[in-house]
């Protein structure tokens, strides 16, 4: 092994003068180093000038901070009815800037802990956090997953829309540069105040004051820990963590936020454990809307749809001064409210006389407990012992108990009227008009209940579609079905003999409906037809579905009945016709989707069968008020929990649901049947609409296709005869001239036909 001794400077100098090769080598190294150094300096200077120019360019694209003190003028969005009346406005009432002193300490601490822990230490950009996030994103293989924006950067993005929201270097640099400028101009307190006044909390709430009013009906300075955690949770994704539409998502995120508060030392472990599982009590008071009560549930339905469209069409619902033209007719709406109020005046008293709380203490206790748990006093308690004491005190408070009793037993209403040819919603009553609260539960679009016997219509429609006639005879013998090892026997009917589908429809006989599903209209195909006709809810594939065992919203089943009125054509229900900007330029126009889902002959026969329901069936109460051609079906769920009537004329289809928010509350008597509780509301409403002197609706009959003028029925099979049946053909349908409504419209082959004076039969559920 050789060892090389390093030469001294004197030795190198001697060699340099005596060794030419050594001298050339040294010179070459020095020249190379010199060139490399020049290239390096040039590259640095070039990069510096490019970066400087790039940053200068970006700085020129940033808006002036003067815009902070001079925001663009905001204009309310105006909502118009189809008959030209202004029915509502959407705007920001709480846009005035609040100082940080008017925001609760819980809200400030929660915001900083979750969004920007080093807020008081950085100068607008948290460089270590950015590096950390960048490394995490590389490891995850997603460079956009974690952004590491500070509160100041978020404020910059909120204030200056030109910065954009796309994931790009340009946007990040603009955001960072603006954040630094903001930090140089304003104090940390001012930055927090500006941020809290501009950030979006969902449901049209821009700013902390609007959010506090919107969700909790209180000022920002009064927000408690749980409410603050809920609002900060929304910031992550206002749609996904919406506490109104997606309370479970908000609750999960809220628990994470509270854990961060514990982790950062803002709350104790005991407080975290106490509050992380607490329910959130909402007290909705959408301050972004006017005090109009023309059609509050419809207005909110429109607002929700517009809010979902905002990003797609690029408008700000509360600032841009839009003009929204809807389908609602205020004259229809007034008649609907009047019809409901007239029915409820005596109906609520009748129910109150029946209901006995002594026999339903479990329901009362459950609702009292829920009322207490959502109360302010209970939520503000610091320990479990305090909460137990509050609970014990309030559960015996007579005022609390009386309030709960009244709220729980208030009869609720869901009524919606649709033009089946255009899909336009003409009226919507989504709550009891006598006790409704603004932005309470919409019982047209937000509840799902069993539709009872109204669902039989889809079973019989499929049977007709499969070629059977309304006069087809079906056994009324008792039915016993093995379900999971147990025997299920539907009530209603089962008296023996044979009954036609027409009579079974009119009298709502359960056994015949079940046999129809077993023999003529398989349940899986009934589900398929129902979905094609407008039922969006998932339906159970059980035989009991023939009696309405699934759950639907009043809007979707009313829309589905419109197919019968519209000659087999389904039309998507719509509430908005056109959106314009403040200058009258059209932003969007809406044309409903349509499709043929039933043969027009089947649609006609269904209408003719359901005319019988009104003429001599379970909905004869309609004829006390309304005397034009009309068809419909009643529905009454088990133990008289829900009452339904879905009825229609050739011009309008209207659905009525009557029930309670707590499905355990039941009418408990025949007065709670669909024919008595819901059908009279429909009859009154139609009477008021058609008698309105501002309208001139002609008398129309359900359209009968020409190929049904003379249709035969095979006496052997009972099926529609195409001319090949060897047996004697009986005339099933024949064309008649227009006649009075109390005369049977068309003649069917039916050996068990009933007279016009026959009393109503068994009402199924």
Burial class for 724, CB neighbours closer than 10 Å (0-12, 13-18, 19+)? exposed
On whether the CB atoms of residues 713 and 471 are closer than 8 A, the answer is: yes
Across 446-484, b (16+ Cβ under 10 Å) vs e yields bbebbbbbbbbbbbbbbbbbeebbbbbbbbbeebeeeee
First to last CA, the chain: 104
Helix and strand totals (H; E) in the chain: 25, 19
- Measured CA to CA, the distance from residue 109 to residue 228 in angstroms comes to 9
- Measured CA to CA, the distance from residue 293 to residue 87 in angstroms comes to 8
On whether the CB atoms of residues 505 and 610 are closer than 8 A, the answer is: yes
On whether the CB atoms of residues 650 and 666 are closer than 8 A, the answer is: no
H runs (alpha helix) in 508-631: 510-519, 523-532, 554-565, 600-616
- Measured CA to CA, the distance from residue 479 to residue 502 in angstroms comes to 20
Q: Work out the number of other CB atoms within 10 angstroms of the CB of residue 437.
A: 12
- Measured CA to CA, the distance from residue 211 to residue 555 in angstroms comes to 30
Q: How far is CA 256 from CA 109, 252, 276, in A?
A: 15, 7, 8
On whether the CB atoms of residues 129 and 148 are closer than 8 A, the answer is: yes
Beta-carbon contacts of 652 under 8 Å, excluding residues fewer than 6 positions away, are 417, 418, 419, 420, 426, 565, 686, 689
- Measured CA to CA, the distance from residue 692 to residue 689 in angstroms comes to 5
Of 104, 228, 276, 453, the active-site residue reads: 453
Q: Work out the number of other CB atoms within 10 angstroms of the CB of residue 693.
A: 5
For CA atoms 260, 262, 263, 265, the dihedral sign is: positive
Name the residue among 620, 739, 720 with its Cα closest to residue 676: 620
Of 115, 227, 424, 556, the active-site residue reads: 115
For the chain, the farthest-separated pair of C-alpha atoms sits apart, in whole angstroms, at 137
For CA atoms 491, 496, 499, 503, the dihedral sign is: negative
CA 657 to chain centre: 18
H runs (alpha helix) in 533-643: 554-565, 600-616
453 flagged as catalytic: yes
Supply the residues annotated as catalytic: 115, 453
């Amino acid at each position: 092994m050789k060892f090389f001794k390093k030469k001294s400077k004197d030795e190198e100098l001697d060699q340099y003068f005596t060794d030419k090769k050594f001298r050339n080598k040294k010179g070459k190294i020095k020249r190379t180093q010199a060139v490399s150094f020049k290239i390096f300096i040039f590259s640095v200077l070039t990069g510096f000038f490019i970066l400087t120019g790039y940053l200068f360019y970006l700085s020129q694209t940033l808006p002036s901070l003067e815009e902070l003190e001079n925001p663009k003028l905001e204009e309310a969005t105006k909502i118009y009815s189809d008959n030209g009346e202004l029915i509502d406005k959407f705007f920001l009432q709480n846009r005035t800037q609040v100082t940080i002193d008017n925001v609760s300490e819980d809200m400030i601490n929660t915001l900083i802990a979750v969004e920007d822990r080093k807020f008081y230490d950085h100068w607008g950009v948290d460089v270590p956090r950015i590096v950390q996030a960048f490394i995490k994103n590389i490891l995850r293989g997603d460079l956009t997953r974690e952004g590491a924006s500070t509160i100041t950067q978020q404020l910059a993005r909120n204030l200056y829309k030109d910065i954009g929201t796309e994931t790009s270097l340009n946007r990040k640099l603009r955001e960072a540069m603006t954040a630094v400028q903001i930090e140089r101009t304003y104090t940390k307190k001012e930055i927090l105040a500006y941020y809290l006044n501009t950030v979006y909390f969902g449901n049209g709430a821009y700013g902390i004051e609007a959010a506090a009013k919107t969700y909790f009906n209180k000022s920002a300075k009064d927000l408690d820990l749980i409410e603050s955690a809920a609002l900060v949770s929304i910031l992550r994704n206002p749609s996904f963590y919406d506490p109104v539409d997606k309370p479970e998502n908000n609750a999960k995120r809220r628990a994470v936020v509270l854990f961060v508060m514990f982790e950062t030392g803002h709350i104790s472990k005991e407080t975290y454990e106490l509050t992380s599982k607490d329910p959130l009590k909402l007290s909705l008071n959408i301050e972004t809307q006017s005090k109009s009560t023309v059609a509050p549930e419809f207005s909110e339905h429109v607002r929700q749809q517009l809010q979902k469209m905002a990003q797609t069409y690029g408008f700000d619902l509360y600032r841009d001064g839009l003009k929204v033209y809807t389908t609602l007719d205020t004259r229809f709406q007034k008649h609907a409210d009047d019809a409901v109020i007239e029915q409820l005046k005596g109906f609520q008293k009748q129910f109150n006389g029946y209901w006995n709380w002594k026999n339903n203490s479990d329901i009362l206790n459950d609702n009292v407990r829920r009322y207490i748990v959502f109360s302010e006093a209970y939520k503000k308690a610091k320990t479990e012992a305090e909460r137990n004491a509050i609970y014990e005190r309030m559960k015996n408070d007579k005022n609390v108990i009386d309030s709960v009793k009244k709220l729980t037993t208030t009869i609720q209403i869901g009524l919606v009227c649709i033009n089946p040819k255009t899909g336009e919603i003409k009226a919507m009553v989504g709550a009891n008009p006598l006790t409704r609260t603004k932005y309470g539960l919409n019982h047209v679009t937000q509840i799902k209940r069993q539709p009872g016997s109204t669902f039989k219509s889809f079973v019989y429609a499929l049977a007709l579609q499969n070629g059977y006639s309304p006069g087809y005879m079906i056994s009324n013998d008792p039915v016993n079905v093995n379900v999971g090892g147990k025997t299920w026997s539907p009530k209603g009917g089962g008296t023996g003999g044979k009954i036609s589908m027409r009579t079974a429809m009119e009298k709502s006989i359960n056994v015949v409906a079940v046999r129809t599903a077993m023999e003529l209209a398989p349940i899986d195909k009934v589900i398929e037809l129902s979905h094609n006709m407008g039922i969006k809810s998932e339906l159970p594939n059980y035989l009991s579905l023939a009696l309405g065992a699934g759950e639907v919203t009043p809007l979707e089943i009313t829309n589905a009945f419109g197919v019968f009125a519209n000659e087999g054509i389904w039309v998507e229900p719509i509430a908005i016709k056109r959106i314009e900007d403040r200058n009258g330029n059209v932003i969007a126009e809406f044309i409903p989707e349509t499709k043929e889902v039933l043969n027009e002959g089947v649609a006609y026969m269904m209408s003719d069968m359901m005319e019988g329901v009104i003429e001599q069936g379970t909905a004869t109460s309609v004829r006390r008020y309304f005397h034009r051609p009309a068809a419909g079906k009643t529905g009454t769920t088990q133990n008289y929990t829900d009452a339904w009537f879905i009825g229609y004329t050739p011009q309008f289809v209207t659905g009525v649901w009557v029930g309670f928010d707590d499905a355990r509350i039941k009418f408990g008597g025949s007065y709670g049947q669909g024919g008595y509780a819901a059908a009279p509301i429909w009859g009154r409403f139609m009477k008021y609409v058609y008698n309105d002197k501002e309208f001139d609706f002609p008398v129309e009959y359900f359209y009968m296709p020409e190929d049904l003028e003379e249709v035969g029925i095979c006496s052997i099979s009972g099926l529609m005869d195409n001319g090949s049946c060897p047996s004697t053909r009986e005339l099933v349908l024949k064309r008649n001239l227009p006649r009075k409504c109390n005369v049977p419209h068309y003649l069917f082959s039916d050996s068990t036909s009933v007279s016009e004076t026959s009393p109503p039969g068994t009402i199924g559920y």
